[in-house]
A and B are shown apart, each in its own frame.
Chain A
Amino acid sequence: MVEKHFEIVTNFDIYVFLIPFLPLVASIITLLFGKRYFRDKSHILPILALFFSFLLSIKVLIEVIHGKIYHFDVYTWMFAYDLKVGLGFLVDPLSAAMMTMVTCVAFLIHVYSVGYMGGDPGYYRFFSYISLFVFFMLMLVLSNNLAQLYLGWEGVGLCSYFLIGFWYQKKSASDAGKKAFIVNRVGDFGFALGIFMAFYFLGTLYYNEIFPKLPEIANKYIGVLGYEVHVPFLIAFLLFCGAMGKSAQFPLHVWLPDAMEGPTPVSALIHAATMVTAGVFMVCRLHPLFELSDAMMFIVAIIGAFTCFMSATIAPTQFDIKRVIAYSTLSQLGYMFMACGVGAFIAGMFHLLTHAYFKALLFLGAGSIIHALHHAPDPNDIRIMGGLKKYMPLTFWTFFIASLSISGIPGFAGFFSKDEILAQAFFSKYPWGKFIWFVGWVVASMTAFYTFRIFFKAFYGEFRGKEVIHGYPHESPRVMTIPLIFLAIGSVFAGWIGIPKILGGSNHIEQFLAPILGHPRIVHEVSHSTEYLLMLLSIGAGLFGIFLAWLVYVKKPSLETFFSKNFRPVYVFLFRKWYFDELYHYTIVKPTLWIARKVIRGVADNTIIEGIVNGSARLVNITGTGLRILHTGIINHYSTFILIGILVYLLVYLYLK
């Protein structure tokens, strides 16, 4: 294969710079002046900024397709002796693809929010935060070094915190925001150590300087608690901790379902399409490092597989439509990590891109329903929906497309990317490839099942919410449905950039990303017949899931409670989300607070340390009172003391001499 040659631009490029900078400016202006001057027009500036960012990213993407790579620093951010880090940009095929997706989806969701957030007292605040989020996301994606990656990483986390707790008067919302931030901090603790470790061994934080130095550490070991640990494994593992936090993988997945407290456009943009995929993006960005350690690749794959499976078991038991989709997001992120873990980085990125469209669409469709039912006490509950097909046709059709796409029905975007992951897992050179394929295959049918569960429950049957909303729902305004249509287009055609060769396509995405992510790590002989067979199997899995959902939720609704009644313990276990929240509460939160309150503050601080401090003060006091007895004021006593003193002094002097 011929290596593609790139022209590397190292000069400052104003267009690249403006892509993240425009949303930042819009965000700051909206935050400062929105409340007083813009009010219900606060959306104009951010939407304009996003629109131009999107156009510029298309321009830059086209340049990258034609063989340009941008790599430059805007200025030196931190400079201390050996450490030199800039704020700068690296636009190569990987980041260009990601950047275009981010600006495109963000633009559509901004437009949608005009309808969804209309009339909210925090309207200006919402648009300011969400634009700021886009800025940080782009800084993360376009970063050329690890420190700036961390800047974007924490920045998107901050915006996520703001937006989850957007309705801060609600305790559950502010709790969820805080939980998201702190759980992410746990991951970032590892991430930061990973950065330090990388700097310690490689002496730089720039990607383009890290990669050539990787061979130096390929066979290095370092002692950790008496064990000799492979250095690339250690660095990659620590960095991966950050990815587990941000991309909500087991065991740090607990924040994402709660994050659904935020407004739905936020769930679509941040908690489905962009921020949560940052972990996958980071693994792809640093894939040469991860590939140095087979153990690390195995961990990535197995964490992805476990999260993928676990979430797919929880999703069908939940009644909150957004939570179901959130678990589906966890599960799909699991697919992406599974892809990375078998060396199928391109397939992982491909799934990331297609997922952004169909998952954003699912969320916005759910948002459209919630918007229509917003008079209900809990508009997210699928038990009050039903029959919406009649009232909300556009939402119905677009949601249908998204559901087909995520279920992997041929022709839709999700089919191509998921199939690519499964095929490459099956043919992977890594020994766990077949197992990963199996998990992915099983979960594919579960995905179709739980997605169509909410689809059928929401759109089919009779409308069950007449009493709670006092009437019938209406289709959402055009400002919300038009973005749905665009996302639906994306949910179909985004996959066509990666039509595999055996289906007569030319797999553009693979050709585009291969110079950065390398070609698939698969065994040499791949038989076409096996490939077709795999494809049929995964289509079958999807269709089976849909059929099952149809059977249970449309054909024979009596079956609906069959599982929850007959397998009560299993059902409760799944319904309670495998008890992770309770586990963390009783093993981490409670003991920490107990130690802090009783041991640290109660015993150590107030009793021991303060006891010694106040005790010594008292000792001085007592000594003083005691010595006062000697203070008689009688000359004879004093002269006796002086005499004794002189004698003692003389004795000591003579003795020492």
Chain B
Amino acid sequence: MLDFLAQALTPFNLTLALVGVVLGTVIGALPGLSATMAVAVLVPFTFAMDPASGLIALGAIYTGAIYGGAFAAILVNTPGTPSAIATTFDGYPMARRGDGSLAVTLATLSSVTGGLVGAVFLLLLAPPLAKVALAFGPPEYFWLAVFGLTLISALSTGNMLKGLIGACFGLLLSMVGVAVVGGDIRFTLESQTLLGGINVIAALIGLYCIPVLIDLVATPDPHLKVAAGAGGFRLAEAARLAWRSKVNLLRSSVIGTLVGILPGAGGSIAALVSYSEARRSSKRPERFGQGEPDGIMATESANNATVGGGFIPTLVLGIPGTPPDAVILGALLVQGIRTGPTLFVQQGSIVYTFIFGLLIATVLMLPTGLVLGRYAYQSIVSIPKAVLVPTVAFMTVIGSYAIQNSPSDVVIMWALGVMGWGLNRFGFSPSPIVLGLILGQIAEQGFVQAYLIGNATGNVAGMYFGRPISLAILALALLTLFYPWLSDRWRRRRRGTPDD
């Protein structure tokens, strides 16, 4: 093992890890530039390297990009990558009230923690954990999506009905296009551009960023408040907060690793699930969504843990855990490396050198992230508003265009953004809509596939309610939904006070 560590520590590999993390962070911070794209662009360069170094470079870019997504989420309320959606919930409110640098530092500490936990799981437990991916069938994905939807109750502050209506609207938006199951062409309004459906990232940029821009130009106030005397990294304060929330950090990292193992779930769901869990177990759930540090720590540790988690099925089963993993798998194929259960034995030197490289890259994220984060924060704060608005607007346009190189995605982004602004003014917040949009396809496909399989084996009810993992997720969903009410009752009973 130690000689693999030494191989990962060669100056060349260290340089690759450092350059990869920096590039990845910058790319991830720009909305619309996803980790997938960052990895795909860099793949040809790795063909000239030996496989382990190539993998280290790609892994470093990937983990950096997932982390960089937090910058845009915190500073301009736009998830740079989908996995940073839940980071906007508390990150942006923190930045607005002047705690932007604290939020960025917290995100860095959490991302490093999550990344390390995911990579350690990859190092020590990859083959057994890959079985988790296989244990998840269609009904489990269906219930996982339902579990994700219970988060609406947390997100719809004010009026639960409006949150639920928004989620239904998001679910319907996710149905637009050609249906995977059934092959129907749904709700495209006879338009060819909608055949491919509504791109989630374009929708994210629109729903989260356009309203910010619209409100930004309406007043001469600065974009973010700057707390007096709160410059610098606020590293000590962040470290104290992180230490206080070590349980949250660890739990979220483990959730992130596990969800990352599931092909077809991904960082956004990992972050949402751990956010939901953090809120449920928090002593002050009402502060979530208002700028609660625990919220950022949960989402950022979870989404970086999916990097290590996602590599588990990629390397062990040859099934990409996340979209960037698909690109990396393709690169391995071209290099002539066969993934599979024997990879860890036959190509141990490549695999373990890579995993150590990933660990090193994750650690390097701490200094680079703090410096880059501080720079990003400083520039967002110090750029005059008149320049900030068109710059951010330009990023939304080029970002939504670059996802699929499609001008119609820019139009969709704009339309959803303006609509989102209007709806938000009347109490329909964008987050339930986004939640529906992300989870709709997973829920629908899981449900119908489970029905098809259940029907073929003559046990439809057993498919949904007769499988242990399904039941466990269902129980968690119910717990999340009724926890506030239950804990209220428990507390009352303990205190012995009558209802008032």
A and B bound?
A: no
**Interface set of A (CB-CB < 8 Å, partner B):** none
**Interface set of B (CB-CB < 8 Å, partner A):** none
